[in-house]
Chain A
Amino acid sequence: GAGVSQTPSNKVTEKGKYVELRCDPISGHTALYWYRQSLGQGPEFLIYFQGTGAADDSGLPNDRFFAVRPEGSVSTLKIQRTERGDSAVYLCASSLDGRRTEAFFGQGTRLTVV
């Protein structure tokens, strides 16, 4: 079956522009996570959804970052006024219930802000 799919796989944007990163979780998974990972660092938690609602958005670095999951399936991470420091690999993961079951990760979107 299909795994977690993230699009695009690579995105190059200019400083100051707006970007959207998409995550298609595994069908039926209620929990969805977003992370970002810089070179040489571990995944940094951004936000966690249970169904349609953001159960924990404590990892979003500032108000330029926003994520939605309107129908409890596909999620979009939105970054406004991108900065060079936003360059990283953005990872998405999903799991059946977020606590008792394993999470499956997508291959990530590599965002480069020039």
Chain B
Amino acid sequence: DAKTTQPNSMESNEEEPVHLPCNHSTISGTDYIHWYRQLPSQGPEYVIHGLTSNVNNRMASLAIAEDRKSSTLILHRATLRDAAVYYCILTGNTPLVFGKGTRLSVIA
């Protein structure tokens, strides 16, 4: 009963932008879209979240499709420190539940 679908893994070159996709075709009107990441040997870390409009913060940007059935996390310039597992999570009637995420590798 996974609510989001993400690629298992992606690869990026250092200092290039990265677009991490997430499909959530069964999203409800009150669901927020959250992104977290987990670096090796660390706990999960908040990245960004949004409801309908695109969002920007110091870490990343979140682009939300007009129908809200998909979103994209954008890292503007990937660094080696961005290598992590990225999780796209919907919160609404359900709490913060992690799926399998996307493992991002960054190549120097």
Contacts and interface: CB of A to CB of B under 8 A. Distances in A.
Q: Do A and B come from one complex?
A: yes
Interface of A: 31, 33, 35, 42-45, 48, 55-56, 59, 91, 93, 95, 98-100, 102-108
Given A91-B44, A93-B44, A105-B45, A43 B98 contact: yes
Interface of B: 32, 34, 36, 38, 43-46, 49, 51, 85, 87, 91-92, 94-101
Contact of A42 (B49, B91, B99): B99
Contacts of B32: 99-100
Contacts of B98: 35, 42-45
Of A45, A100, A103, most buried by chain B (CB within 10 Å of CB) is A103
A102 B46 contact: yes
Contacts of A43: 38, 44, 98
A103 B49 CA distance: 11
Contacts of A98: 91, 95-96
A113 B53 CA distance: 46
A102 B99 CA distance: 17
Contacts of A42: 38, 85, 87, 98-101
19 contacts: A33-B95, A42-B38, A42-B98, A43-B98, A45-B96, A48-B95, A48-B96, A56-B94, A93-B44, A95-B96, A98-B96, A99-B91, A99-B92, A103-B36, A103-B44, A103-B96, A105-B43, A105-B45, A107-B43
B24 to A, nearest CB: 15
A98 B94 CA distance: 9
Contacts of A103: 36, 44, 46, 96
Contacts of B87: 42
B88 to A, nearest CB: 12
Nearest to A55: B95
